[in-house]
Amino acid sequence: MTQSRTHNCGELRISNVGEEVTLSGWYENIRKVSKTLGFLVLRDFYGTTQIVIETEEMMNIIDELNSETTIQVEGTVRERSSKNDKLPTGDIEVVPKAIRVLGKCIYNELPFEINRSKEADENTRLKYRFLDLRNPEVKKKIVLRSNVVAELRRRMEDEGFLEISTPILTASSPEGARDYIVPSRKFPGKFYALPQAPQQFKQLLMTAGFDRYFQIAPCFRDEDARGDRTPGEFYQLDMEMAFASQDDVLAVLEKVVVPVFEKFGIYKRVTPAPFRRIPYLEAMEKYGTDKPDLRIDLELQDATDVLGDIGFETFNGKKIKAVVVDGFTATRKQIDQLIADVEVQTAQKTYWFRLDEQGEIVGGISKFVQPVKDKVVSALGLKPGCFVGIAAGTLGVAQKTAGVMRTKLGTLCPEHMDKEQYQFCWIVDFPMYEIGEESGELEFCHNPFSMPNGGLEALEKAEKGEIDPLSITAFQYDLVINGYESASGAVRNHDPEIMVKAFNLVGLGENEVKSKFPAMYNAFCYGAPPHAGAAPGVDRMIMLLTGEESIREVITFPMNGNAQDLMCGAPSEVTEKQLREVHIEIRKPKED
């Protein structure tokens, strides 16, 4: 039996009428008119073709088959009497003289209708992902992904970058997220780790004399899923440049990324280069986030002076941030839902009032605001019809809570959000350090291998207590697109003395630095060039290009939100023999 085909199912046109052809694909469905007449849809990767069943013999063959069986059809192309101008192949049909089964579907019922798979429960879709991907609407996202990756490769090569693969099995290092660890068979009690990013290797490539490196790199982090983040693994366009400054890296990425969004994005308006650069502290003050969606024209205002002493106990001694929106004509029910949604996302209560069309303060906490109405109206620039959302707390809490409210208000007010575009910006001058939410100790804010502003002198002053380490900024930068962090990068620390001093501040001594990062430390002692780089996230980029809200829609075989591969059954148990080979004993948690 031959499995060849002369054409694919999206290829035949009116010019092929009269030809003898062989097609192969999936039997999608049939519309039966009688025992001897039916119209079968044959589908493959490229499209669909109508097969006209006109004999009892051919109908008997089809009656024995379940849909989604793969078949081969030999027949003659003819012009359709009733054409379908919505299909590329809608002018023709194929009359079969032979139908052969290539791969039988043994199930009478499918988990979902192929062309409506996106309506199915997500876990069902993931369990039967091989069927879900047969849906042309799902498949085209993966095709787009392939095309975008090819375009990124071509543009990076045009900029003189060399694609180099780096190791997957490496050493565990403190880079911010949990490692996936792999036990060693040959070295009992020791472990490899899957790389959270190729960070150390790409810096080592710079010290080895490679000038411009990139790869479409797999990265592995044991972290929880979000709508814009998949658990387990993801891919990034990893790049690094020797003898480069922050400006050099930003210019290259702008040159590479803008044409990709112009070519493949669902929105045709794209921010032209150079992108706006917003210092981190300014972003937090104006937008309440280091990932501002600049399609929204709202900004935060400081209302501490005008609202901090109005007798509302919750505001006493707190920083107060306000978001003012004109024309927000929501009902009380809609406002209550907004307040509830912000609280769910931030675990913080927010407050509100409105200046009505008669110029009166109404709703929410209006009774506390009314006595200082004129002062508030002047300070916040209120006009009749303005809605004011308020957050209070420490500076960081007030900013972040008000930032969430700003974003939600923007999405609720079309006049304040120009949605049909890609808005890019750079967030720069990130803090070098922060206080960890879980540890309560000083930690690196972003990338521990970044060059601090002020260099060694700034670190030494912090060590002596002359300046607050939290005041040190770094040459770190994020690319933000429509409110999503889409790339992170930095000018790297290439000086071993500065490297040791930077880690000293977070409690790691010189010997620990040498033991945890032996390759980088040693390499830097042999004359490392200044270098800088970044890593745009490929998965998130595709998500933005397609307009999808879930990143799992653009990943070929994603895990679910609980980091499970429902199709292959991972994570799974292994045998006792496998455990003994790698010197592992399972210790299950004690039951309460």
Average pLDDT over residues 45-53: 97
CA distance 113 to 122: 14
Task: Report how far residue 542's alpha carbon sits from residue 265's, in angstroms, rounded to the nearest whole number.
Answer: 9
For 518-583, give the DSSP string. Answer: HHHHHHHTTTPPPEEEEEEBHHHHHHHHHT-S-GGGGSSS---TTS-BTTTTBS----HHHHHHTT
d(CA 508, CA 528): 22
Domain boundaries along the sequence of the chain: 14-103, 112-268+536-586, 296-416
- For residue 209, give the DSSP letter: T
Residue partners of 339: CB distance under 8 A and separation at least 6: 349, 350, 351, 352
The answer to whether 300 touches 322, Cβ cutoff 8 Å, is: yes
* pLDDT tens column, 368-383: 999 999 999 999 999 9
Q: Mean pLDDT, to the nearest integer, of 271-292? A: 97
The predicted model gives 143-159 an average pLDDT of 98
Q: Do 429 and 449 form a contact (C-beta atoms < 8 A)?
A: no
Average pLDDT over residues 24-47: 96
Q: What is the pLDDT of residue 1?
A: 41
From the centroid of its chain, how far is CA 554?
9
Exposure on the CB side of residue 28, measured as CA atoms within 13 A? 22
Confidence of residue 175 (pLDDT cuts 50, 70, 90): low
Look up the CATH number of domain 296-416: 3.30.1360.30
The predicted model gives 215-238 an average pLDDT of 88
CA separation for the pair 262, 239 (Å, rounded): 21
Cα–Cα nearest to 325, from 317, 316, 334: 334
> Which amino acid is it at 414?
P
CATH homologous superfamily of 112-268+536-586 equals: Bira Bifunctional Protein; Domain 2 (3.30.930.10)
**Mean pLDDT score, 134-157:** 97
Check if 14-103 and 112-268+536-586 are the same fold. Answer: no
Tell me the two tokens of residue 490. Answer: 């930095």
CA–CA distance, 253 with 248 (Å, rounded to integer): 9
Is the per-residue pLDDT at 3 higher than 80?
A: no
- pTM listed for this prediction: 0.91
Q: Look over the chain and give the mean of its residue pLDDT values, rounded to a whole number.
A: 94
Q: For 188-193, what is the mean pLDDT? A: 94
Cα separation, 302 vs 290, whole angstroms: 17
Q: Give the closest residue to 459 by CA, choosing from 522, 503, 494.
A: 503
> Tens digits of per-residue pLDDT, 515-560?
888 999 999 999 999 999 999 999 999 999 999 999 999 999 999 9
- CB contact at 8 A, 410 and 416: yes
Task: Convert the pLDDT of each residue in 402-437 to its tens digit.
Answer: 999 999 999 999 999 999 999 999 999 999 999 987
pLDDT for 121 equals: 95
For domain 14-103, give its CATH number from 3.10.400.10, 2.40.160.40, 3.60.20.10, 2.40.50.140.
Answer: 2.40.50.140
The pLDDT, as a whole number, for residue 272 is 96
Mean pLDDT along residues 460-488: 95
Confidence class of residue 394 from pLDDT cuts 50, 70 and 90?
very high
| Residue 22 CA, distance from chain mean position | 42
Contacting residues for 368 by C-beta, under 8 A, at least 6 apart: 310, 311, 312
Instruction: Report the distance separating Cα 253 and Cα 238, nearest Å.
Output: 11
The DSSP bridge partners found for residue 537 are 236
The answer on pLDDT for 156 being more than 80 is: yes
